[in-house]
Copies of this chain bind each other. A is one copy, B any other.
């Protein structure tokens, strides 16, 4: 991964100290950096060394721009706002960005669509990652299939993007319904949200793999980052 793509650190299983050490080394080279699966403790450790690092508490990402002096509006560590948003009645979010952390112009737009509030952490991981890899992101949240009118009212916003990332747990039906509505690629991310016969995301995973709609590719359970990487890879092709 290279032009316009950040260095990536996978935080799961690493200590805050380990993450901070790698982060600092990369940032010191002037590289844009994205760290995923980071606890707030990990973020604090990073910030002690890289003061401009920013945290997305829902997505558990830490990022730093190349141009560290500038403002990074849409990835702010605004915990209260971000968390209350996940429980607010005004549920469908749309925040887009113009520039990614590498300072390159956005390649195109990726919609990140979720079924329910419980899918937000994975959605934010995907959204921040896609932005970090150069995509403009449109968030369309809480449009699960048990209330179709919500989804149908977003049809226009789904129509003019280059790629759609659909994030859903439980039965994972949203991927099929969205893919049936649009003619752009749909990247389906099953989430481990649920209990009982959910079996850690297996129900959504199998549902998405068996989608009766065309144009759907599946990534691992809860892998918001992987979905973003595939989306950015597709979008990048449109610029060549």
Contacts and interface: CB of A to CB of B under 8 A. Distances in A.
Interface of A: 1-2, 12-15, 18-19, 21-22, 25, 83-84, 86-87, 89, 115-118, 144-148, 152, 162, 169-173, 176-177, 179-181, 183-185, 187, 190, 192-223, 226, 229-230, 233-234, 236-238
A142 B196 CA distance: 22
Q: How many copies does the complex hold?
A: 8
Contact of A237 (B185, B195, B208, B213): B185
B237 A116 contact: no
Nearest to A196: B221
Contacts of A19: 87
Contacts of A209: 196-197, 203, 205, 218-221
A19 B86 CA distance: 11
Contact of A203 (B162, B206, B234): B206
Nearest to A206: B203
B215 A183 contact: no
A238 to B, nearest CB: 6
Contacts of A12: 118, 195
A24 to B, nearest CB: 11
